[in-house]
Chain A
Amino acid sequence: MSKVKVSNEWKRHVKQEYIRLRQQKRYKRADEVKLAWNQNRMKMTESLIAEQKRWTDSKACWVPLPDIPSHVTCMKKAEVIGNEDDIGAGDIQVTPIRIINAVTPIPTMYTWAPIQQNFMVEDETVLHNIPYMGDDLLDQDGTFIEELIKNYDGKVHGDRESGFIDDELFVELVHALMQYQEPDKPEKKDKDKDKNKEDEKKKVPDFPAYIIFQAISSQFPDKGDPEELREKYIELTERTDPNAPPECTPNIDGPNAASVPREQTMHSFHTLFCRRCFKYDCFLHRLQACHPGPNLQKRRGPDLKPFTEPCSPDCYMLLDSVKEKMAAKAKQEEEAKGKSNAEAGPSSEAKSNGSGNGNGNGNGNSNPRKVCKQQSVDSGNEASSEDSNDSNKYKEKPKKIFSIDANDQDQVSTTTNFSLLGLMGANDHKEWTGSDESLFRGIHKIFLNNYCAIAQIMLTKTCQQVYEFAQKEDAGVLDEETMRDYTPPRKKKKKHRLWSVHCRKIQLKKESNSNHVYNFTPCDHQGSCDVQCPCIGAQNFCEKFCQCSSDCQNRFPGCRCKAQCNTKQCPCYLAVRECDPDLCQTCGADQFDISKITCKNVSVQRGLHKHLLMAPSDVAGWGIFLKDSAQKNEFISEYCGEIISQDEADRRGKVYDKYMCSFLFNLNNDFVVDATRKGNKIRFANHSINPNCYAKVMMVNGDHRIGIFAKRAIQPGEELFFDYRYGPTEQLKFVGIEREMEFL
């Protein structure tokens, strides 16, 4: 494309329209703000009126204490002699003077929001407000604000930047400029111009002339050349096209549910779920660059095996074609089962299962529909499974991954007592709606060819219909054979051996450890973890969130402690990590019920903080005090706050330094915890060179977190201090007066 000279007229048009649109936007925005303000105002007035009404309606009134104190005779009295004009002229009225004690004013506090877990926030690239620190300070040091603005590259919130264009404005600008196309008609070689003229009023999205993009580009050179702008315009307008599919997949439970592929159905869930916090769009990791999606190659067992009996008269197993296949398979299975039963100690129950299976093949119709096998669980088998500490009644404990056998499946009731099948007309369930199809695709991968289960969960289809649809779908469904491969190998012994090696490695790692601690990001590279792996590069262990295999050499093995994990005997404690509930299972870190945990090394993740109370400090400002006593090295609280980048911390720190009040706390090389805006009570702990607490940055399930621990035994009601580790000059800057503390 050759450089076309853009006429001054076009430039003027662009400028004019741009300013007009900006102004329009500003007015609109101002109106919005006004509206929102008025709405807020209305809400407040409403609540005030309601409160006023409550006060007037209630009979509450102030009752002066009628009882006279016993020492009334020696109290000072106030005396009044009635005026001559009054009724009680000359009367002397006496009342004892009660002195109201002076209440000392409390220190100032700036508003903050309570959190119990860190909260990551984005960098602020524009200065949101100019901090007010009193008039005199600004007079004294006029350069401060200038420097502050410089930190933000001169960007201040609400500033009218000249070159600002966003997508919406860009499209509007193009449309606005299209009205100038006509006078320039002869200059252009646009093929659409005739059409454009005809239905300009009716249809805007006719394609604008190229000259427009050129003009914009010349006016705003930083937004790209005309070609780029043109492409972008196409992209943007196409998206806003009303005929284009709606933004998101329709609700699968809604009336407009569509038939979409599995990836699309699951997309929202997959992309928003935080595998580390178990929440959607979590506060801590949503902004991190690496968002680990699900590893679709791994499956978590135990799998639900195809049921051995037909689930209903409409079961797919009763189809002739299936029966044949089953018969062939049954033979093989019988043999296998016979073996396994012999190993496990044959029980009558297992035999009856086998016979039931045979019956099912023969005359399935006569079988009762509901067979709840949960009641017929062989207790002997139950005990043999490693379920010795039955904290939760779940059969899906992680240990069970290694013990898939025939019994596991038997423990699951194979029927449900609810279905929508009967509720609709006879033929309704024959129809596959989009919702049905999407749901089927969603769960097909989970249950594979257990069509009975799929049908039960779908509620709207019979087993046979599901089977037929599955055959039609013909998707690359995982076969039972491939599924077998996922059964993890039994490698307990091997793991244990590895563990001792690991422990040695941890020690090595610890020694070689430099002062730099880097944030952990789960790795998702191909192959095993080696020098290329980011975890190894950052001197971090691989965690369960990494995509590497669970026997990766760089994984931390967890501990095998049976005690409290509060000495250096515990490898977790030694590595300054909290016990991982998925790795350490002998210390009780995996228990959900807090009273059942013997491990003392899980306090941060479980939030087992001490009860803290805030009061004016004996030293400066507010202070935080312990309600109950604490022993040495006992966990007090986590230091929570906003997680910000080091750059952001530098910028914020400039302001905090001026305020002489800082809640910044270095977390690791990448991030800083700032408890100024969000935090928990421990933020009120003051600095002392002779503290009773200390801070420790720990790795807690893949996140660095700051724990505050007792440095010595602390009595109830004592104020808490820890060493902020200031430099010698900063110390005085923040805590002006550090009075001599009273020691025991």
Chain B
Amino acid sequence: MPPKKREKDLDSSKNPRIDHIQADHELFLQAFEKPTQIYRYLRTRNMCSPIFLNRTLTYMRYRMSRSHKSRINFKVDSILDKVTSRQDHSTIQPGFINITFLGFSDKSLDHSAQTAQVETVLLKISHKKRKDSSAPSMQISLGTAEIPVNPDDQQIPMTAPTISVSTDSFNPSNGPLAKSYIFLFRVKIHIERANSDEEEPALKKRKSNGTTDMMNEKIYGAELTVYDKYNRCYLADGDYDVILQDFTSLTKSSPKKPSSWENGKDIIETCGNINLMMKGGAMLKFKLNWSPEACAKYVDRPKLYPLSENKENIPLANNNDNKEKLQIVYQFVYNNNSRQQTEACEDLHCPWCSINSDQLYTLLKHLKLCHSRFTFTYVPISVGARIDVAINELYDGSYTGSPHDLISQPTVCAFSRNGPVRRASVTHILVCHPKRAKPSLSEFLELDDCEYDGQRPFITGHNRLYHHTTTCLPIYPKEMDVDSEGENDPEWLRNKTMMMIDEFTDVNEGEKELMKMWNLHVMKYGFVGDCQIPLACQMFVQHKGKELLLKNLYKNFVLHMGSLFDFGLVSAVCLYTTIQKLQEMAGETGAIRNVLKESREAQIDNWSKNGIQSSDKPSTSKSTGRKTGNVGMQRRKGTPTPSETPIRRKSVGGETSRKRP
């Protein structure tokens, strides 16, 4: 772990450099200082609460003690068998638990006592009845044994006392229905008074308060759960070091619930326990094994079980002693020239987070992936490896969380717990199995040609903040499903078509109104073929029929339908039925009837008023017939000036009226 630090010490002592380089050197140090600080901080944090386990990484595979060999032979069908066999197991097989006591140690005892008595008690706790405040329990003493206190490593007694507990005692058949079974160990030590007075005044005081009969005895206690109330067996074969506590305080520390989040206090307590163990508090050592038959009262002192290696728990275990020593030199590069070299070191610990890698490849991979603020280049040298460290200029420390968190969201805030808030769906790929190249050191040689890194993006989905296309305002996740600005008839276009029709000077207001209504209708529903026009008419009557009649446009609509007929878009039958529908509507509503009636009356009034005029006017129109009407129409409707004269109406600024071409 300390190479980095060492290197810093070195640079102050060993480098009597020229002054003008000094400033530059300061810059170099500054550049490396910040990332190093960050990684140091992260190291501490990851040790306290790791965000992932290094053993799960492919290149750290050697840290994984567990193999998945059983998975190869796994079959789905075997699940039932497994479960039933386990259940069989849980009805306890006839046999014995043999507990062979190896010794009791308490550094504070100072060899004052040679032996201690261990009483083993089986505590049966029954079902808690509803109204009882405490569960009924029963204690069965299983026997006592004499064990050495603070056994010396050199003078281990050849035999050890053993207690065999029949599994029958765990079966519910005898006695009342017991739920859980707990071993209680009570260790009694006789102490000379003189000693105890001096050393344990507090203890004495307490004893004098409570119990008077055990004046010169020290009692320790511990408990071990054999079966809990869910009938889970906690004790397997193994060597046990049980920390003993004062018997009186035994009830305080109840076994922790197996699955719950630990909080800080728990950790501290656990740590305290461990500290106690390290300091050398009271501890009972015994070996426990299950066997089909009971053991003798005294057995030969058994060997310890071999310590199985759990590397995750002992990260610093150095187990490659027999490997050839590899020299690793870190060279710090700044502004393209090397500034600093560390002394060659032989271990494969990461200088920043002191994680132990057992191969050079692993180390390099770790450096590259976990310390991306730097770049690492591997250069093989005669003694081993040189690793060039430089600042990664391309390091992108940008915010990788949801971009929606960056904008304030109205009322329902992104981080609020006030209620459910819709979020954009983003897929983060947590498990990815890309084809991996064979691990080879060559991938660290050159900086640039690492094509292999081209993987699929780890985040897919809508991991970005979208904006409305016209307003550029952010789109909140709850609005994502609405395709805004995607409608066929945006408001401006609806207004535009109305304005354009209004601009005509030679179209009367009835026609204009009808044309606007029809245009809006077609724009809204988007009719695409001739064959859909009858349907369009039907829908028009359905949706806008009332409005149309109230606006007094009945005859205009008839003319519109006639025009559609002229264009060959509707048949006479369709026209007839469509108008029928409209008439039905007119019949239903009195208001419409009034509109039609009033308009009719107005027409008749006007007609009779202008009777004198009309008397000669219709005659002319009638006598001349349609053909002359045609001529007149052309003059009226035709565009008078623009087409023939050089002056174009179009070019007039501010001209608001439009003429039909």
Q: How far is the CA of A251 from the CA of B454 in the complex (A)?
A: 72
Q: How far is the CB of A682 from chain B (nearest CB, A)?
A: 10
Which of A235-276 touch B at CB < 8 Å? 235-236, 239, 245, 247-257, 259-273, 275
Cβ–Cβ contact B596 & A239, under 8 A? no
Please indicate the chain B residues that have their CB under 8 angstroms from the CB of A607 in the complex: 488, 526
Cβ–Cβ contact A281 & B556, under 8 A? no
Cβ–Cβ contact A170 & B647, under 8 A? yes
Check A272/B660 contact, CB under 8 A, given A251-B556, A260-B621, A300-B569. Answer: yes
Comparing A85-93, A189-197, A288-296, the segment that makes contact with chain B is A288-296
Could you give, for residues 438-468 of chain B, a 1 whenever the CB lies within 8 Å of some chain A CB and a 0 otherwise?
0000000000000000101100111111111
Cβ–Cβ contact A291 & B505, under 8 A? no
Check A281/B501 contact, CB under 8 A, given A166-B647, A167-B647, A615-B467. Answer: yes
Which of A436-451 touch B at CB < 8 Å? 437, 439, 442-443, 445-447
Could you give, for residues 97-129 of chain A, a 1 whenever the CB lies within 8 Å of some chain B CB and a 0 otherwise?
000010100100100111111000010011000
For B480, B483, B500, B645, which residue has the most chain A Cβ atoms within 10 angstroms?
Answer: B645
Q: Which residue of B lies closest to A255 (CB)?
A: B602
Q: How far is the CA of A291 from the CA of B413 in the complex (A)?
A: 57
Asked whether any CB of chain A lies closer than 8 Å to the CB of B175, the reply is: no
Which of B555-582 touch A at CB < 8 Å? 555-556, 558-560, 562-577, 579-580
Check A475/B626 contact, CB under 8 A, given A166-B649, A265-B559. Answer: yes
Please indicate the chain A residues that have their CB under 8 angstroms from the CB of B552 in the complex: 253
Check A252/B510 contact, CB under 8 A, given A434-B607, A744-B456. Answer: yes
Asked whether any CB of chain A lies closer than 8 Å to the CB of B533, the reply is: yes
Could you give, for residues 32-70 of chain A, a 1 whenever the CB lies within 8 Å of some chain B CB and a 0 otherwise?
100000000000000000000000000000000100000
Asked whether any CB of chain B lies closer than 8 Å to the CB of A544, the reply is: yes
Q: How far is the CB of B521 from chain A (nearest CB, A)?
A: 9
Return the contact of B572 from the options A413, A446, A627 (Cβ within 8 A): A446
Could you give, for residues 512-540 of chain B, a 1 whenever the CB lies within 8 Å of some chain A CB and a 0 otherwise?
00010011001100111111111110100
Asked whether any CB of chain A lies closer than 8 Å to the CB of B637, the reply is: yes
Cβ–Cβ contact B534 & A396, under 8 A? yes
Cβ–Cβ contact B660 & A420, under 8 A? no
Asked whether any CB of chain A lies closer than 8 Å to the CB of B469, the reply is: yes
Please indicate the chain B residues that have their CB under 8 angstroms from the CB of A742 in the complex: 454, 456-457
Q: Give chain A's interface residue range (CB within 8 Å of chain B).
A: 35 or more
Cβ–Cβ contact B492 & A253, under 8 A? no
Main secondary structure of the interface of A (DSSP, over half): loop
Cβ–Cβ contact B462 & A613, under 8 A? yes
Cβ–Cβ contact A447 & B572, under 8 A? yes
Q: Which residue of A lies closest to B602 (CB)?
A: A255
Which of A584-614 touch B at CB < 8 Å? 589-590, 592, 602, 605-607, 609, 611-614
Please indicate the chain A residues that have their CB under 8 angstroms from the CB of B626 in the complex: 261-263, 475
Asked whether any CB of chain A lies closer than 8 Å to the CB of B29, the reply is: no
Q: How far is the CA of A222 from the CA of B456 in the complex (A)?
A: 70
Asked whether any CB of chain A lies closer than 8 Å to the CB of B653, the reply is: yes
Cβ–Cβ contact B596 & A717, under 8 A? no
Asked whether any CB of chain B lies closer than 8 Å to the CB of A348, the reply is: no
Cβ–Cβ contact B574 & A394, under 8 A? yes
Please indicate the chain B residues that have their CB under 8 angstroms from the CB of A298 in the complex: 568
Q: How far is the CA of A296 from the CA of B562 in the complex (A)?
A: 11
Q: How far is the CB of B139 from chain A (nearest CB, A)?
A: 44
Cβ–Cβ contact B576 & A304, under 8 A? yes
Asked whether any CB of chain B lies closer than 8 Å to the CB of A721, the reply is: no
Asked whether any CB of chain B lies closer than 8 Å to the CB of A625, the reply is: yes
Asked whether any CB of chain B lies closer than 8 Å to the CB of A727, the reply is: no
Cβ–Cβ contact B600 & A439, under 8 A? no
Number of interface residues of B (CB under 8 A): 128
Q: How far is the CB of A444 from chain B (nearest CB, A)?
A: 10
Asked whether any CB of chain A lies closer than 8 Å to the CB of B437, the reply is: no
Q: How far is the CB of A522 from chain B (nearest CB, A)?
A: 12
Check A615/B553 contact, CB under 8 A, given A251-B511, A446-B572, A592-B527. Answer: no
Asked whether any CB of chain A lies closer than 8 Å to the CB of B608, the reply is: yes
Cβ–Cβ contact B583 & A261, under 8 A? no
Asked whether any CB of chain B lies closer than 8 Å to the CB of A132, the reply is: no
Asked whether any CB of chain A lies closer than 8 Å to the CB of B584, the reply is: yes
Please indicate the chain A residues that have their CB under 8 angstroms from the CB of B472 in the complex: 106, 109
Cβ–Cβ contact A255 & B603, under 8 A? yes
Q: How far is the CB of A268 from chain B (nearest CB, A)?
A: 5
Comparing A452-460, A509-517, A649-657, A658-666, the segment that makes contact with chain B is A452-460
Asked whether any CB of chain B lies closer than 8 Å to the CB of A465, the reply is: no
Check A270/B566 contact, CB under 8 A, given A281-B501, A590-B529. Answer: yes
Return the contact of B469 from the options A222, A611, A614 (Cβ within 8 A): A614
Cβ–Cβ contact A581 & B600, under 8 A? no
Please indicate the chain B residues that have their CB under 8 angstroms from the CB of A166 in the complex: 647, 649, 651-652
Could you give, for residues 620-634 of chain B, a 1 whenever the CB lies within 8 Å of some chain A CB and a 0 otherwise?
010001100110110
Cβ–Cβ contact A627 & B480, under 8 A? yes
Check A235/B641 contact, CB under 8 A, given A302-B572, A394-B574. Answer: yes
Asked whether any CB of chain A lies closer than 8 Å to the CB of B490, the reply is: yes
Cβ–Cβ contact B641 & A114, under 8 A? no
Cβ–Cβ contact B457 & A442, under 8 A? no
Return the contact of A278 from the options B475, B533, B586 (Cβ within 8 A): B533
Cβ–Cβ contact B633 & A253, under 8 A? no
Asked whether any CB of chain A lies closer than 8 Å to the CB of B470, the reply is: yes
Cβ–Cβ contact B599 & A300, under 8 A? no
Please indicate the chain B residues that have their CB under 8 angstroms from the CB of A101 in the complex: 399, 405-406
Cβ–Cβ contact B508 & A250, under 8 A? yes
Q: How far is the CA of A475 from the CA of B626 in the complex (A)?
A: 9
Q: How far is the CA of A592 from the CA of B533 in the complex (A)?
A: 10
Please indicate the chain B residues that have their CB under 8 angstroms from the CB of A103 in the complex: 406-407
Q: How far is the CB of B597 from chain A (nearest CB, A)?
A: 5
Please indicate the chain B residues that have their CB under 8 angstroms from the CB of A304 in the complex: 572-573, 575-576
Asked whether any CB of chain A lies closer than 8 Å to the CB of B263, the reply is: no
Asked whether any CB of chain B lies closer than 8 Å to the CB of A674, the reply is: no
Q: How far is the CA of A396 from the CA of B493 in the complex (A)?
A: 32
Cβ–Cβ contact B600 & A280, under 8 A? no
A–B Cβ pairs within 8 angstroms, 23 of them: A101-B399, A103-B406, A223-B646, A259-B618, A266-B559, A266-B562, A267-B633, A277-B522, A287-B661, A291-B661, A294-B568, A298-B568, A302-B571, A303-B571, A394-B574, A397-B531, A424-B601, A434-B618, A475-B626, A607-B488, A614-B469, A715-B460, A742-B457
Known contacts A114-B485, A158-B653, A743-B454, then 10 further A-B pairs from the complex at CB < 8 Å, ordered by chain A residue? A103-B406, A115-B490, A116-B488, A122-B650, A223-B646, A279-B497, A296-B566, A589-B529, A602-B528, A742-B454
A residues in contact (CB < 8 Å) with B = 29, 32, 65, 101, 103, 106, 109, 112-117, 122, 125-126, 157-158, 165-168, 170, 222-224, 228, 232, 235-236, 239, 245, 247-257, 259-273, 275, 277-281, 283, 286-287, 291, 294-296, 298-304, 392, 394-398, 408-409, 412-413, 416-418, 420, 423-424, 428, 431, 433-435, 437, 439, 442-443, 445-447, 453, 456-457, 459-460, 475, 544, 580-582, 589-590, 592, 602, 605-607, 609, 611-616, 625, 627, 680-681, 684, 701, 715-717, 742-744
Task: Please give me the 5 A-B residue pairs with the lowest Cβ-Cβ distance, nearest first.
Answer: A581-B529, A251-B510, A261-B629, A269-B563, A418-B587
